[in-house]
Amino acid sequence: MKKKIKLLTISLLAFITIGHSQSNDTIRGKIISSITRKKPVGEIVISEKGSTDFIKADSLGYFKFITKNKKSEYHLVIIAGDYDVQEFVFKSKWLNYKRPKHIVVNAKCRLNKEKASSDWKAGKAKLYLMSGITPIATTKKDKRFERKYGLKYYDFGCEARLPECLIDYNTRVFKNLDLTFGRKWKKNVRKEVIGYQ
């Protein structure tokens, strides 16, 4: 009798294991920004549409999501930093790829390198700052910098949306400053300027 129960238990466990492995898939991916082609700034949460289960991507944007059922397509909901909530259709044929599927989250930047170029030409360029909850007041030194280099500081405090857009804008202004004035501007620029290392 004990032998039959043991055999039945082993058979049942084998059935459960096989059934479980056939009922789900592991989706591997990497979330990247349409602006920087790197991980978006901020936390990334991924879930399957209609499910309350979710996982978070790691510090590089990689994730592994175990589904509840095998399907030909998986509808993922992606919440990434300040980007709008986005949906992505992940096809089962991508499950066997050696590399994780790159999933691009799109953003429409009002402030970008094109805007920076046109602002620079029009003499209206800015350097965007993100100093925190309490914006840091502009000093006399900052005003001298603004006059000397023909631009203005603009501080978002802690309310800047999509830092990637601001980095794109500021990076173009940095290049224009280098081309026009050489590197001497770097000694006096505010360190809170977004994208300035």
Tens digit of pLDDT for each residue in 67-79? 888 889 999 999 9
- For residues 23, 25, 26, 31, the Cα torsion angle rounded to the nearest 10 degrees is -130
Sign of the C-alpha dihedral computed for residues 139, 141, 145 and 146 taken in this order: positive
* Residue numbers of the chain with a pLDDT score lower than 50: 2-21
Residues 6+ apart with CB under 8 A from 192: 129, 130, 131, 136, 155
| This prediction's pTM | 0.68
Residues 6+ apart with CB under 8 A from 129: 135, 136, 153, 154, 155, 156, 190, 192, 193, 194
Q: How far apart are CA 53 and CA 107, in angstroms?
A: 25
38, 112 contact by CB (below 8 A)? no
**pLDDT attached to residue 69:** 84
Tens digit of pLDDT for each residue in 8-30? 334 333 333 333 345 688 999 99
